Amino acid sequence: MDASRRAGWSPHELTERRGERTVTDQSPNRRTELTGLALFLLLAFAAGGIGSLLQGADVGARYLVYERPAWAPPSWAFGIVWPVLYVLIGVAAWRVWRAAGSVWAAAGPLALWGVQLLLNALWPWVFFGLEAFWPAVAVIIVLDVVVLATIVAFARHDRPAAWLMVPYLLWILYASALNIAIAALN
């Protein structure tokens, strides 16, 4: 048994009494962690919701009217893939925040994460809302680059968080190729 326990103090109290700060002093508590997780998930899904609102009505019907390559997914696949990706995106950001100990300690990676969410919400508006296929290619290529940069930045704080973003990167790379094909065919 260590001296702090024999004295009736926890290690946390002992470091506070000495005026020292430890990493655990800055670590979020369980309630804060769950609130943070809920917030990051909410932000990820909000980006998807905003993108859906901006893209306009009858997207599924419009998607079927576009000339598409043979390897294009059916319209129903998007409704399955995106919710899973938004969970992964939200959990990844939460893990980075948690590993860093605060939003400020992870400000760079989380700023990139926020930028990719904005681009994620913007792309459906440009592609479906405006039906501006080539400008949508530009948006999604920037999204690809920002997501890759986010993965690299996340890996510095939490490798599993970086890996959680990889399915998203793969999906948007596929979506980029699909966007280019639809732009060329229409």
Q: Write down how long the chain is.
A: 186
Residue 71, domain member (yes or no): yes
Q: What is the pLDDT of residues 134-164, one digit of tens each?
A: 999 999 999 999 999 999 999 999 999 999 9
DSSP string, 95-109: HHHHHHSSTTTTHHH
Residues of the chain with pLDDT under 50: 1-25
User: Is residue 62 assigned to a domain?
Assistant: yes
140 inside domain: yes
Say if 159 falls within a structural domain.
Answer: yes
**Owner of token pair 């639809």:** 182
Cβ neighbours of 160 (radius 10 Å)? 13
Domains of the chain: total: 1
How far apart CA 78 and CA 74 sit, in angstroms, is 8
The Cα-based distances of 136 to 33, 56, 64, 126, 128 in angstroms read 36, 15, 18, 5, 9
User: Residue 111 domain-assigned?
Assistant: yes
In a domain, 10, yes or no: no
Tens of pLDDT along 3-22?
A: 444 444 333 333 444 444 44
Q: What is the pLDDT of residue 4?
A: 41
pLDDT value of residue 14: 37
- pLDDT (0 to 100) of residue 8: 44
- Closest by CA position to 112, among listed 52, 82, 152, 85: 152
What tokens appear for 78 in the block?
């998007």
So what's the pLDDT on residue 60? Answer: 75
Helix axes 75-100, 30-55, angle to 10 degrees: 150
Which domain CATH number covers 86?
1.20.1260.100
In a domain, 6, yes or no: no
pLDDT on residue 17: 42
Give which of 106, 97, 93, 110 is closest to 27, Cα–Cα: 97
The region that residue 58 occupies, defined by phi over 0 for left and psi between -120 and 50 for alpha, beta otherwise, is left
Range of the domain at 97: 29-185
Inside any domain, residue 109: yes
pTM metric for this prediction: 0.81
